[in-house]
Amino acid sequence: MDYLQHPFDSKRTTVFSKKGMVATSQPLAAQAGIEIMRNGGNAIDAAIAAAAALTVVEPTSNGIGGDAFALVWVKDKLHGLNSSGPAPKNISIKAVKSLGHEEMPVHGMIPITVPGVPAAWAELSKKFGKLPYSELFKPAIRYAEEGYPLTPILGKYWKAAYESFKTKFTAEEYQSWFDTFAPQGKAPEIGEMWSSPGHAETLREIAATESRSFYSGKLADQIDAFMQKHGGFLSKEDLAAFKPEWVAPVSANYRGYDVWEIPPNGQGMVALMALNIYKNLNKPKWQSAETYHEQIEAMKLAFTDGKEFITEPEAMPVSAEHLLSEEYAKKRAEVIGETAIDPVLYELPKGGTVYLSAADEEGNMISYIQSNYMGFGSGIVIPGTGIALQNRGADFSLDEQHPNALKGGKRTFHTIIPGFLTKDGKAVGPFGVMGGYMQPQGHFQVVTNTIDHLLNPQAALDMPRWQWLGGKTILLEPAFPNYLAQELSRKGHAIQLAVDSGSFGRGQIIWRNPETGVLAGGTEARTDGAIAVW
């Protein structure tokens, strides 16, 4: 595929390489991946090393106690991995309400679900890796043990979390968070060294046991003991029962390219639904208010439906196949006019996340994402281990009639999504944009920037973004052109201007030239993004 640089003032230049490339939101994590690749590992080995390193060098967005998803291209085939954990077996709507909650709490013991990250690492290594599992963790262990200086965006979010948590997290179970992430009684400053010896020991244990210790060994016992002490629902039985799931990726064809996502319980389908709706509308125009308007309307319809219907496949009131069908897309496209609408739910037919990508000269490519959710997750850290546990259960509904109703052993609607692009059965490459509910919106904008406007990877990421917040409300990035903002306002959109770019997602892209094998990568200027090459 030829990527042209459209006349757009991109903040960085696209990076090119032949033998290998790792793109992450942190320079040290990208270097960890390339270090492993130079030592004989492939793209999958490199991604695991970078992911392990990210739990150390970007704890504001992910951790060992989070979930993970991956799309892996090996030997001309795309594989999907869903390593999102379910709710504990003994949790229920009744149990949560009996504790005084009418909605799922965001922090604490209740929203903790089974972590999938360590299992994802082991599963990817077992199926596709080249190097011994223990080799992949050496860079991350080194960073945790020796320490590293905080980068600017990392330091900003770390400090913001500390300022919020110091008044919010007063119960005993939160003390380990402060012991781990604010050991001097404050958040570490930008440029200041921070280390986590307990985190290093945990990574050693995971490396030595191929992650088994986390689910049925020493680490599982430590997690279980802390849960029991503080009235948590997660148990060692829940951990022991967990297995990642290999899944068939789902796709939508957008103007000759196949865009791939992980199927439900993830929200990746929202991006595909929006692309399907949008391609039924007018031909895209560069920097046109009409084009932006139609993109926004397509996204708000897809998101309204996705948030209502997407959960575990067996609990969905409508099939994924229908939501990705031409029938659905055309019906939703008919709703879109020349002015903004308040989206109405589709009438059913009767009857803190980190993203990284890696590629090697053998043709292997991986799109990988892991997260603790909402920054540091639940706020619960297992003492002395560096294991910060996620709060994915916060997305469950306590309405028994809702498709995403809380139930023991059930996986919730999940926000983290890796993406992948192919054309005519050949890999173009991995892409992703992290950031809660911004993720499918980011995927949609990156894909349309690339295919409709021929932007190279870096320019596609650097384009000013919009974000649908609900109803007719649209948040625009500071760099979004003012004349377009005014035109969108005249079309009925309730425009809000963001003060910074913090909520607009952080992405990575690697495209491969099918004829030469040359890799072209873009990284995110909205974070401390970096591309390491070989």
Strand, helix or coil at 241? helix
Helix and strand numbers, DSSP H then E, in the chain: 18, 21
CA 198 → CA 145, 219, 388, distances in Å?
8, 12, 12
Find where tokens 């990575």 sit.
508
The yes-or-no answer on residue 353 being catalytic is yes
Name the residue type at position 354: V
Find where tokens 């590293």 sit.
148
CB-side neighbour CA atoms (13 Å) of 146: 9
How far from the centroid of its chain's Cα atoms is residue 375's Cα? 12
395: which residues sit within 8 A by CB, 6+ positions away?
104, 404, 412, 413, 414, 415
Using CB atoms within 10 Å of the CB of residue 307, give its burial: 0 to 12 exposed, 13 to 18 middle, 19+ buried.
middle
Distance between CA atoms of residues 114 and 208, nearest Å:
21
Q: Are 352 and 376 in contact (CB under 8 A)?
A: yes
Annotated active-site residue in 353, 412, 448, 523: 353
Distance between CA atoms of residues 507 and 88, nearest Å:
31
Strand, helix or coil at 437? helix
268: which residues sit within 8 A by CB, 6+ positions away?
250, 261, 262, 417, 418, 419, 440, 443
Residues known to be catalytic: 353
